[in-house]
Amino acid sequence: MPVPLFKSSLKPYEPRIARRLADVVASGRYILGPQVSAFEEEFARYLGARHCVGVGNGTDAITIALRAVGVEPGDEVVVPSFTFYASAEAIASFGAVPVFCDVDPATFNVTRETVERALGPRTRAIVAVHLFGNPAPVPELLELGLPVVEDAAQAAGATLDGVRAGALGTAATFSFYPSKNLPCLGDGGALVTSDDGVAERARRLRFHGSHDKVTFTDVGFNSRLDELQAGVLRLLLPELDGWVERRRAAARAYADAGLGELVSLPEPAPGAEHAYHLYVIRSGRADGLASALAARGVQARPYYRRPVHLQPAMERYGGRSLELPGTEEVARTHLALPMGTDLTRAEVAEVVAACRAALS
Ligand SMILES: *Cc1c(COP(=O)(O)O)cnc(C)c1O
């Protein structure tokens, strides 16, 4: 039985989405209108934060958040190397300097210790990525006395000690790219904060550095969530918790089916409810396992085999001289298995049977 890595959750919502899009088209308001303001209010309330600022995508959200918390060109920002490239690109794109830190292989995330080792006199902020939907230890990072920007692109619906990912740090950023836990129909993103000043600067930065469209006080961006996407996101936000519950049920099904006897299962951080954007296991035979699964029609893939500090564009900030043993280990051993809101028991059983056949 073929099992895809990922299936869209949107099929049942297509008629309502089509109606919502038609309503926005008929409204004649396409940029920074009532849908965006309403979504910003609803998403901030959902997360338990004071402000949400809709932007063009999750990458811009990180850059704007960093600038809004006061990072300037030449300042250093600590970021894990084991993440999607954009987490670091968003730092370097405005002339700040990414300083790569290690991760704990058990959680795939930074720890207070790995971040502490990367701090220096020019460090101005920390980007804490909630990788694969597992919350990073943001409260401990805040004790280091620097602004912490959560890269929550993969973590919509996750919580840490009852607080939602996105309401833990100085600011947080989300992506609504179609495969993320809360998707839109193209590119979209948001920045969330409970700091009034950070929110005010972010609002200005997303609109060319102006708060009134006539006075321009910053060199900013043209990066806005648009009305069509916000209209769709307002329809889907009420589904998010139910979707994430279904992802958690699929994760429990993998454990119940004995997958843990074959590979290392993803470990929710202490106090965390994982959002399972991706279901990523570790195995010393990850590549062989992926080929064996593919031969049976089960899709599985590594995401970050080459960590960011070893990417060609990041050579000046990283390279082979950086010692990041946790990163190297997980880069080699991680493998994403099928996960989604509609993964069936039968599909889980097939994936586990295929792993068992491949590894024993
Ligand atoms: C998807 C993603 C981003 C970037 O989001 P875009 O909307 O594609 O720009 C940033 N960081 C992480 C960890 C992501 O997964």
pLDDT tens digits, one per residue of 12-71: 999 999 999 999 999 999 999 999 999 999 999 999 999 999 999 999 999 999 999 999
Q: How many Å is the Cα radius of gyration of the chain?
A: 20
Q: Report the pLDDT value the prediction gives residue 319, as an integer from 0 to 100.
A: 77
CB 180 within 8 A of CB 153: yes
Partnered with residue 98 across adjacent β-strands are 77
DSSP 106: T
Q: What is the pLDDT of residue 360?
A: 86
What's the sign of the alpha-carbon dihedral 261, 266, 269, 273?
Answer: negative
At a CB cut-off of 8 Å and minimum separation 6, what does 310 contact? 81, 318, 319, 320
Domain at 11-238: CATH code: 3.40.640.10
**To test ligand 1's pocket by mutation, which of 59, 110, 181 has the most ligand atoms within 8 angstroms of CB?**
59
The pLDDT value given to residue 320? 79
Q: What is the DSSP track for 46-94?
A: HHT-SEEEEES-HHHHHHHHHHHTT--TT-EEEEESSS-THHHHHHHTT
What pLDDT is recorded for position 164? 98
CA 40, CA 202: separation in Å to the nearest integer? Answer: 13
- Looking at the chain, which runs of residues are DSSP E strands? 51-55, 76-80, 97-101, 123-129, 148-151, 159-160, 163-164, 171-175, 189-193, 272-273, 279-282, 334-337
Pairing type for strands 272-273 and 76-80 reads unpaired
Bridge partners for 110 per DSSP: none
How many angstroms does the Cα of residue 177 sit away from the middle of ligand 1? 8
- Is residue 225 lining ligand 1, measured as CB closer than 6 Å? no
Cβ–ligand 1 contact at 304 (below 6 Å): no
For position 228, what pLDDT does the model report? 98
Taking the CA atoms of 191, 195, 199 and 205 in sequence, report the sign of the dihedral they define. Answer: negative
Largest CA distance in the chain: 68
- The tens-digit pLDDT sequence of the chain (360 residues) is 899 999 998 999 999 999 999 999 999 999 999 999 999 999 999 999 999 999 999 999 999 999 999 999 999 999 999 999 999 999 999 999 999 999 999 999 999 999 999 999 999 999 999 999 999 999 999 999 999 999 999 999 999 999 999 999 999 999 999 999 999 999 999 999 999 999 999 999 999 999 999 999 999 999 999 999 999 999 999 999 999 999 999 999 999 999 999 999 999 999 999 999 999 999 999 999 999 999 999 999 999 999 999 999 999 998 778 999 999 999 999 999 999 999 999 999 999 999 999 998
Q: Which residues in the chain are classed under CATH 3.40.640.10? A: 11-238
Q: Which CATH fold topology does 240-359 show?
A: Aspartate Aminotransferase, domain 1 (3.90.1150)
Predicted confidence at residue 145, as pLDDT, reads 98
For ligand 1, what atom is nearest to the CA of residue 131?
A: 13
Atom of ligand 1 nearest to the CA of 129: 13
Domain with CATH 3.90.1150.10 in the chain: 240-359
Q: How far is the CA of 349 from the centre of ligand 1 (A)?
A: 31
Residue 5: exposure state from Cβ atoms within 10 A (0-12, 13-18, ≥19): middle
83 lines ligand 1 (CB under 6 A): yes
- Helix (H) or strand (E) holding 37, with range, is helix 34-47
Pairing of strands 76-80, 123-129: parallel
Q: Residue length, the chain? A: 360
Helix, strand, or coil here: 174? strand
CA distance 357 to 360: 6
Give me the half-sphere count of Cα atoms (radius 13 Å) on the Cβ side of residue 316: 6
